[in-house]
Structure 1
């Protein structure tokens, strides 16, 4: 079974092969996950009004085979933090999870979702994460993805903001044979904001397909997409981002940036940053770059007794430090750093 997903917001020449992505879905066994979640209450009403996710087919697969649901809710004025670990292996090899993250008025909510997998067999994960940030709420979401090289991963993240709400999302994409991730934020409320501060690291023959949409609808909304990545061996990355200002979003400010370090000549990197403005009174910035290590930096470090491999690792780590340092839990932060360093290590 094949589905089409991660369609670009404004189509370009077909020969560039970035308009959409064909995703080969493995045979689904409909297996249970290792634990039961909550009873699914159905769609959040606000999300009935918007389009989000990798594709409608990917969302339908999640609904059809859903085997884990959880909600994380901060009540009005409450400060709350939640953590959830997901583990796939040869016995529990399928995860169709749905996460509802809801911050009521004037609340603060932090949610950490940690995905790991191991074993000899193939695994399939289809995750849907929806965030509803109500008036004057603050939400932080951390998605740590350390899936193994026998995993196919689909990640759909949808954001909906009301007046003065703030949402920050941190993704750490550090595994999976094939990864497809889609982030879409609908900045509905006035003065609401959404920030993405994420990293990715591709190795071996891994394939990464990422799509970020930041839609400004409310007045004086703010957004910032910052994604830093590295590629080694024969890995392939297709990155698309869309910063869009809808008519009426007066005073909105947005930025989108993606930077990739190419550690080997055999990697493949494609980046397509878009900015679409239907409103005059806005400020938008976008940037994207991909290149090899700065040899001046490498030479400087090596002149101080550091080997080439160590210099390479230090430069990559410096690009990732801001996103990883956002993790307050020192043990979890060290685990993420260990995952990064294991990928950096030559000879893997």
Structure 2
């Protein structure tokens, strides 16, 4: 089933899509409601970046059913992310929006943890999915891309951790795109009271033809729950990417983000955490490398509603050639969120005279009894650091490489799977050279 999608989208196609997937009636109706909104809603706002002429709506939309019999069949780039030959428990691989490989430990199932693709979740866990899908974090009618996503999402993952369950091993999902079909991916991670989980995802595309990725992740941490969310996005040059990762945190809960934005095409990234509960905590670390003529707009926002809540933002970017990277860091403390603390640091390292980098720190404070601070810088490699390394006999290019890796290290070290960490280092190495 393939259609050239140009606004307006047909309701008949959406009904057919939902029927083909065997979805419950509530989800079909939500898709249709979202479809009605697409033409009337504006694009999301990307401060200091004009995205009106970016391609978000001209693409192929397709459903495929692809499977992988063995990890040995994987391309080398994906093999590097998994330990081929090991048990590889708690691993999902989705190819072009279709679940191609799944390995889930028996222990995880016994604990009542749900770890499955979003299509299976809609059929087998419909009532639970309905509770969290576009209700707690992101709304379907926020803007054009959210509505478009809701109407046409065709891949993703649903993770649910019951109360008092600690998932000891990281859950890993690889999203592999090698067709001319657009990727509309929806991820939901829910950790109920006193539970914990680490989730790591990788997005990869190899074809450089014009295409679209529209990704939304909703992350819900209940009271005293702990979620570690790691992601490395590596879409090819022709992909226009919109990604919105949003969290909601209850009393004394925690969400820690470690995000690597390594795309080669134009990208709009939103990462927002709502600290709803008292004593809630969020830590968001993002690194990016921009090259060529690509443009990236990355907004990280932490909003404090609960008392004694704490939010930390760290953004580090490297820009070369004629690329543009914009960091918007926003810490907002709402009235009543007393004793809260909002801190942020954004730094951009430029490697060429034509590169452009902006770091925009914003603090919005509606309460008196709080702490808040920010730091921002845009500049070139520190000549003092370079001189120190070269004085120890290290060649200039190697010294620059070491400084760049050290600059991006805060996020690389946060990734919970060693193979993913090594792959990010390799991608960084390839892009800066």
The verdict on a shared fold, with TM-score over 0.5 as the criterion, is yes
Q: CA RMSD in A?
A: 2.1
TM-score, structure 1 normalization: 0.90
Equivalent position of 1:78 in the other structure: 165
Kindly indicate which of the two structures has a greater share of residues assigned to strand: 1
Q: 1:310 and 2:398 equivalent?
A: yes
Quote the offset at 1:34 in angstroms. Answer: 4.7
Quote the offset at 1:158 in angstroms. Answer: 1.0
Equivalent position of 1:323 in the other structure: 411
Equivalent position of 2:233 in the other structure: 145
Instruction: Please give the secondary structure, in 2, of the residue aligned with 1:24.
Output: coil
Which of 160, 169, 191 aligns to 2:279? It is 191
Equivalent position of 1:61 in the other structure: 148
Equivalent position of 2:58 in the other structure: 27
Structure 2: any 5+ residue segments left out of the alignment? 1-6, 8-38, 64-95, 100-116
Residues 133 and 102 of structure 1: CA distance in aligned 2, closer, same or farther (over 3 Å)? same
Quote the offset at 1:322 in angstroms. Answer: 2.1
Quote the offset at 1:303 in angstroms. Answer: 2.0
**Would the aligned equivalents of 2:335 and 2:366 in 1 still touch at CA under 8 Å?**
yes
Residues 343 and 54 of structure 1: CA distance in aligned 2, closer, same or farther (over 3 Å)? farther
Residues 256 and 291 of structure 1: CA distance in aligned 2, closer, same or farther (over 3 Å)? same
Quote the Cα distance in structure 1 between the aligned partners of 2:335 and 2:157: 36
Larger Rg: 2
**Would the aligned equivalents of 2:154 and 2:185 in 1 still touch at CA under 8 Å?**
yes
Instruction: Please give the secondary structure, in 2, of the residue aligned with 1:93.
Output: coil
Equivalent position of 1:130 in the other structure: 218
**Would the aligned equivalents of 2:248 and 2:273 in 1 still touch at CA under 8 Å?**
yes
- Encode CA deviations 1:101-135: one digit per residue, 9 max, x unaligned: 00011001111110011024223211100000001
Quote the Cα distance in structure 1 between the aligned partners of 2:164 and 2:56: 42
Equivalent position of 2:321 in the other structure: 233
Question: What is the count of residue pairs matched by the alignment?
Answer: 335
Equivalent position of 2:67 in the other structure: none
Residues 44 and 281 of structure 1: CA distance in aligned 2, closer, same or farther (over 3 Å)? farther
Equivalent position of 1:13 in the other structure: none
Quote the offset at 1:21 in angstroms. Answer: 4.5
Equivalent position of 2:379 in the other structure: 291
Quote the offset at 1:273 in angstroms. Answer: 1.3
Quote the offset at 1:193 in angstroms. Answer: 0.6
Residues 304 and 150 of structure 1: CA distance in aligned 2, closer, same or farther (over 3 Å)? same
